[in-house]
Structure 1
Amino acid sequence: MITDPFPDSHCRIRAYEVTGEERYRKVVENYWELAVNRRGSFATGGQTDGESWTPPNRQSARMSDMNQEHCVVYNMIRLADYLYRWSGKKEYHDYIEQNIYNGLFAQGFWQGRTLEGALEDPIPDTGIVCYYLPLAAKSTKKWGRKIEDFWCCHGTSVQANAQYSRWIWYQDHNGIAVEQYLPSRMETMWNGKNVSITMEDSNLGGDYLRIMEVARTLDQRPEYWKKSLHITADQAEFELRFRLPWWLRENAVITIDGMDVDYEVRNGEGVIRRVWTDSIVEILLPCKLTAWPLADSPDCVAFLNGPVLLAGVDTDEVRLHGDKDNPQSFLTPSHEREWEHWKEDYRTVGQERNFCFKPLKNIGREMYTVYFPVADTDLTVRKS
């Protein structure tokens, strides 16, 4: 069983933290090196198939209906969290982020919905957890049922939902770090002074449905994330650090109380040091579409919007035509706005048959395909 090494690894983590003996830490670091760095991963961030590790950099023959067991996703995130606490290397939180959005969010829970009294699904229902996350072409998620199923992954699903705050906020002798951009609130003491930070998604929906506040009206979906941190403190001086993700299209922009500010870049994080009292910090993270190739089949790729994996809906593994290093050339936003909310959907353009993409985390019962072969040709030119 692939989960068998986890109890041993976590025991050695605890042994290192209690005794300080480097041999325990070395075992954990070597385990990560073999399981992740030398193995490569699917675009989800996972590395497994059928409760076993995929061969190093040979994932193409291991896409199936049994990829990415939920328990493994959760326990590898736990391992990455410990390694970040020991080393401060932001690469561990890039890994955590990818596995949150394309693992925990994608296979942890799903609920059908209604819209204006009309059923989007014939019978809206609820999926409790996916034991596996299928990655083969024309896959469907196999959701657990409310009463009839009770797998090990039901247990780690409960654990994961109780752990998000542990993976967002960190504090050390220099200050406070935000490593995951999830709405949350933290309260702490800094040198005997109270500090409170609330993180929210900034309003990017425009001001159509808002009266009491002024918001810029956007006529198209923004190509960035914008997070708002409200910091209140009793004249406390400390560093505020924020992770600069691997998927940034260009430099992050920071404002404090509406004014642009400079920040230091250190170990993959932005750093601002000042005396904090009552401030609004806004973090703007320009994102981009990225192609994630299979290591042993580089012309077969998946697409991510920032860290969020996109899946083709109701389609087979068809060949796409375009520049895979510039996915924007053949993927364009689709149904980009619903009421005041921007959506994350895309559709292909200039293909023999066009179809839609949506975040894998938003897929419930639909059939989907994640990886597509891409030919570096312009279909319109080829046909002429």
Structure 2
Amino acid sequence: MPAFHPDTTIDPSRRRFLQWSALAAAAGMLRFPLEVAASVAGTVTALPLQAVRLTPSIFLDSLLVNRRYLFELEPDRLLHNFLQYAGLPPKGDVYGGWEGDTIAGHTLGHYLSALSKLYAQTGDAQVKQRIEYIVAELARAQAQDPDGYVGGLTRKTDAGEIVGGKSVFERVRAGAVNGSKFNINGSWSPLYTVHKLFAGLLDADALADTPQALQVLEPLAAYLAGVFDALDHAQMQSLLATEFGGLNESYIELGARTGNRRWIAIGKRLRHEGIVDPAIAGKDDLPHHHANTQVPKFIGEARQFEVTGDADSAAAARFFWETVTGHYSYVIGGNADREYFQQPDTIAAFLTEQTCEHCNSYNMLKLTRHLYQWTPQARYFDYYERTLLNHTMAAQHPQTGMFTYMTPMITGAERGFSEKFDSFWCCVGSGMEAHAQFGDSIYWHDGQSLYVNLYIPSQLDWKEGGLALELDSDVPHTGNVRVQVTRADDKAPRRLMLRIPAWADGHQALKLNGRTVSATPKEGYIALERRWKAGDVVELALDMPLRLEPAAGDPDTVVVMRGPLALAADLGPAATPYDAMDPALVADVSPLSGFVALREPTRFLASTTRPRALEFSPFYAQHDRRSALYFKRMDPAQWAEEAQRRDRAKAEHAELQASAVDMIQFGNEASEKDHRLASDTSFAAAYRRQQCRDVRGKGFVAFVMKGSTQPLVLRLRFWGSDKGRFNILVNGALAVEVAVERGQVIDFVDRDYPLPHALTRTGQPLTFRVEPQHGDTAGPLFGGWLMPA
């Protein structure tokens, strides 16, 4: 295929990029402003997956467990909708979970990407056979459509009928863009689903040498391009307000790969200005935006810079990365609570069950790879390594191969893992991909140097570069690394660049062929330069002292770190409910003074935790345990005050329960059954260890409570930063119109709603109905108390 050559002229908007870089440097956001301002796409390049083979480690274990799961899945079941809606008989039953909803088909795209990455990583012929079968079946389905459409997504009509997804796009072509953040014309994020198929076909082409993949993709791309051509600018921006994944990136990549500038133009048109323009201007406009909807948009901007030289795209991508990693990220590298960005630097206030959606981290690592290519700074891989070890590895169960959606940051939470055939969340798809590609970011080169950025045990056989080596490493458990050259010819680079992680704090020892070498890291790397030959051995020992890392915005909320690993206290098996008070780190000086190493290098017993001593080990590995990751740091007097505060809170709750005429605990099965709760478009959940229920759109929740002849108020408990508008009906009559505005209180908030006495004075049981106004939301509601006025 002809290669697309990027524009060589510098767009005038580069001036804005340079201005932003200067502002960011002045604000302390960037360490290396000169290098940032001079970003050049392709400064360094990752060595291909095909050149890397993993050797025994937690990463190879994970990849093999993932392979087992990928082969437990049946392609014909994932292809069910693609064939059915093409008018062909399916060969397997459709899967459940999300694959049984209108977002069906997204998993096949993830699956195709995961298989392609696995094939490149292993050369496994069975994997390639499966890829080629899937692509051939897609081609067979596509041949039935005169417009080149092929897809597995569906649409729910106003009458409730499920029909093929092509009708979604035909309605868009006609100017109907009816939807919300996650719905267009009755389909759940259809462009997101399309993007996964685009990405899977692109990966099959690039990583698995399957040329038929582009033969399927280009007609599909042309069909959707025709739909987009029918929209004016305002309609297009309205369409882009619904989650569309990284479809912009895929179009630009398709154009770069084929030389077809039409695809580049479509990709550029898929810029969501409401999100990207503030980032171009250096403005943080992320609070209360759905996090994973945004990350892929900036991956697309990064790819646009690399292909077209658009400096605005570079500025947007870099500002977004700096902002998210610096102000919105948890210690494990993940971000967002309940899938949304909250306010910047409020991590300590949002330690909940619903933090750190894995898709977000998967996509942030993709974005990190792009930025590193422009400006090879070690700090990018400090973030990459942290996220890979503490989030990606936490999100896959090492025995079952199943994946988490969220990775909870709240103390005492249980990680929830997917079912094999009945979940298919977005994070199952990104999990399949993440655990098939560990070799893709270990080694990089710039023509003169080989960079080693991740200390993942592996073998490198770089034929084009005339170099082969073996990397043995105990990281993350110890800081010992050994690199042995097994082949080096005249083409081999002379310079070996070893990343010195920030966590080593400048304490490392280096040997070359057994002799100590004195070398000072520069910008996070030690450079060794020589004519390499087979048998050369480099040994690196990195220090791993314990340290405390504060949460963004609160120096007294801390995590215990050792090297790249976040350590967590083990609170017991996940099967045992946790209802104790949160432990704290209590000491007059340093809480770390009470940590004593145990048998393994990553296990410690801490005597400075209260109310009892606790054992710490790596957070990621506590898959079947309940953990305490974030701790409040206190002195003994503060701990005594905290214990008294918790006792008062218990007493106040007991008093509330005693004074209420009746109480319903939303989200609690027994309480809801006792109150004959009925609902539609309503969901039970838990947040901050409190059960809850929310109601959305045209849904409702109804329940029965004891009555009283005296005047009554209904007390409802909300989370302080939530908002919504809904009506409260009593025995079918409107009693209260409620408008809950988003507040600044980061805590639970109780609000009282007086009920008209005429509706309650009989003393008979009362039937309450809560229903959103005009498709808004009601809740989540964390409890309802009927109380004397």
Fold match (TM-score > 0.5): yes
1:147 match: 421
Unmatched tracts of structure 1, length 5 or more: 112-125, 205-221, 337-342, 380-384
Q: 8 Å contact 2:452–2:499 — kept in the other structure?
A: yes
Q: Does 1:76 align with 2:364?
A: yes
Structure 1 residue 132 displacement after superposition: 0.4
Quick one: distance in 1 between partners of 2:386 and 2:636? 30
* Equivalent position of 1:59 in the other structure: 347
Q: Secondary structure at the match of 1:314?
A: strand
Where does 1:189-268 land on structure 2 (aligned, <5 Å)? 189=463, 194-201=466-473, 224-232=478-486, 233-234=488-489, 236-268=492-524
Q: Distance in 2 between matches of 1:323 and 1:249?
A: 25
SS state of the match for residue 247, structure 1? helix
**C-alpha distance 66-223 of structure 1, shift in aligned 2 (>3 A):** closer
Per-residue displacement from partner, 1:295-317 (whole Å, max 9, x unpaired)? Answer: 33322211111110111111752
Aligned to 1:23, the other structure's residue is in SS state helix
Letter aligned with residue 196 of structure 1: A
What are structure 2's unaligned runs of at least 5 residues?
1-289, 573-580, 639-789
What is the CA-CA distance between 1:6 and the residue it aligns to? Answer: 2.9
Do the aligned partners of residues 7 and 40 (structure 1) sit closer, same or farther apart at CA in structure 2, a change above 3 Å counting? closer
DSSP 3-state at the match of 1:14: helix
Say if 1:224 and 1:110 are closer, same or farther in 2 by CA, change over 3 A: closer
Equivalent residue, structure 2, for 1:106: 394
1:348 aligned partner: 606
The question of whether the paired residues in 1 share the 8 Å contact of 2:595 and 2:608 is answered with no
Q: Deviations over 1:251-296 (max 9, x none)?
A: 2211112111133522211111111002111111111112111233
Q: Deviations over 1:107-131 (max 9, x none)?
A: 12332xxxxxxxxxxxxxx251110
Structure 1 residue 10, shift from structure 2 partner: 2.2
SS of match in other structure, 1:82:
helix
Mapped partners of 2:477, 2:461: distance in 1: 31
Q: Which residue of 1 aligns with 2:617?
A: 358
Q: Deviations over 1:176-217 (max 9, x none)?
A: 001111111222246xx6201211126x9xxxxxxxxxxxxx
User: Which whole-Å CA distance do the structure 1 matches of 2:294 and 2:592 have between them?
Assistant: 41
Q: 1: distance between equivalents of 2:546 and 2:437?
A: 29
Does residue 7 (structure 1) correspond to residue 293 (structure 2)? The answer is: no
Q: Distance in 1 between matches of 2:480 and 2:369?
A: 24
Instruction: Label 1:57 to 1:167 Cα distance change in 2 as closer, same or farther (>3 A).
Output: same
Does the CA-based 8 Å contact 1:129-1:157 persist in structure 2? yes
Counterpart in the other structure of 2:561? 304
How far 1:249 sits from its partner (Å)? 4.2
Counterpart of 1:96 in structure 2 is 384
Q: Which has the larger radius of gyration?
A: 2
- Structure 2 residue aligned with 1:171: 445
Q: Note if contact 1:290-1:327 (Cα within 8 Å) is conserved in structure 2.
A: no
Q: Distance in 1 between matches of 2:385 and 2:550?
A: 19
In 2, Cα distance between the equivalents of 1:373 and 1:7? 34
2:553 counterpart letter in structure 1: D
**Is 1:281 matched up with 2:555?**
no
Q: Is the 8 A contact 2:333 2:383 kept in 1?
A: yes
Task: Quickly say closer, same or farther: Cα 1:261–1:16, change in 2 above 3 A.
Answer: same
User: Which whole-Å deviations, capped at 9, do the CAs of 1:153-195 have from their partners, x for residues lacking one?
Assistant: 11111211233222111011221001111111222246xx620
Deviations 1:342-376 (A, max 9, x none): x5111112555111111111112211111112224
The residue number in structure 2 matching 1:335 is 599
1:109/1:323 CA distance change after superposition, 3 Å: farther
Name which of 307, 319, 322 aligns with 2:587. Answer: 322
Native 8 Å contact 2:558 2:632 kept in 1: yes
> Is contact 2:303–2:370 with CA below 8 Å preserved after alignment?
no
- Name the counterpart of 1:382: none
Query: How many pairs align?
Result: 337
How has the CA–CA distance of structure 1 residues 67 and 223 changed in structure 2, closer, same or farther, with 3 Å as cutoff?
A: closer
Match of 2:627 in 1: 368
Residues 279-288 or 26-35, more deviating: 26-35
Kindly provide the amino acid, as one letter, of the partner of residue 29 in structure 1: R
Using the TM superposition, give the Cα deviation of residue 71 of structure 1 relative to its aligned residue in structure 2, in angstroms: 0.4
How far did 1:148 drift? 2.5
Moved more, 315-324 or 135-144: 315-324
Partner of 1:208: none
Match for residue 183 of structure 1?
457
In structure 2, relative to structure 1, the CA distance for the partners of 1:323 and 1:18 (3 Å cut) is farther
Which amino acid counterpart does residue 332 of structure 1 have in structure 2?
Answer: V
Paired position in structure 2 for 1:47: 335
**What letter corresponds to residue 363 of structure 1 in structure 2?**
Q
Note the C-alpha offset of 1:227: 0.9
**Aligned partner letter, 2:485:** I
Residue in 2 that maps onto 1:120: none
User: Are 1:129 and 2:403 an aligned pair?
Assistant: yes
Secondary structure of the corresponding residue to residue 275 of structure 1: coil
**CA 259–130 in structure 1, closer or farther in 2 if over 3 Å, else same:** same
Asked if 1 retains the 8 angstrom alpha-carbon contact of 2:335 and 2:360, the reply is no
SS in 2 for 1:303: strand
Structure-2 change in CA distance of 1:201 and 1:7 (3 Å): closer
C-alpha contact 1:223 1:288 (8 A) present in aligned 2: no
Taking CA–CA contacts closer than 8 Å with sequence separation of 6 or more, which of the two structures ends up with the larger relative contact order?
Answer: 1
Q: Percent identical across equivalent pairs? A: 26
- 2:324 aligned partner, one-letter code: A
User: Which one is further off, 127-136 or 349-358?
Assistant: 349-358
Q: Distance in 2 between matches of 1:345 and 1:286?
A: 16
Distance 1:8 1:43, change over 3 A: closer
How far is the alpha carbon of 1:35 from its aligned partner? 2.0
Distance in 2 between the 1:75 and 1:147 partners?
Answer: 24
Instruction: Please state whether the residue corresponding to 1:253 is helix, strand or coil.
Output: strand
Shift of 1:323: 6.2
CA contact (8 A) 1:247 1:306 kept: yes
Structure with the higher fraction of residues in helix conformation? 2
For the residues of structure 2 that align with 1:250 and 1:296, how far apart are their CA atoms? 26
Give the structure 2 partner of residue 28 of structure 1.
317
Q: Secondary structure at the match of 2:617?
A: strand
* SS of aligned partner of 1:270: strand
For residues 44 and 237 of structure 1, what CA distance do their matches in structure 2 show?
34
Please report how far the alpha carbon of residue 40 of structure 1 lies from its aligned counterpart in structure 2 after TM superposition: 4.5
Residue number among 158, 163, 187 corresponding to 2:432 in the alignment: 158
Change (3 A) 1:228 1:378: farther
Q: What secondary structure is seen at the aligned counterpart in 2 of 1:36?
A: helix
3-state SS of paired residue (1:3): helix
Distance across 2 between alignment mates of 1:16 and 1:350: 50
State whether residues 330 and 349 of structure 1, in contact with CA within 8 Å, keep that contact through their aligned partners in structure 2: yes
CA contact (8 A) 2:355 2:407 kept: yes
Return the letter of the residue paired with 1:344. T
Q: CA deviation at 1:14?
A: 1.9
Counterparts of 2:454 and 2:443 in 1: how far apart (Å)? 8
SS in 2 for 1:18: helix
Partner of 1:340: none
Question: Take 2:558 and 2:626, find their aligned partners in 1: how far apart are those partners?
Answer: 18
CA contact (8 A) 1:256 1:281 kept: yes
2:140 maps to: none
RMSD: 2.4
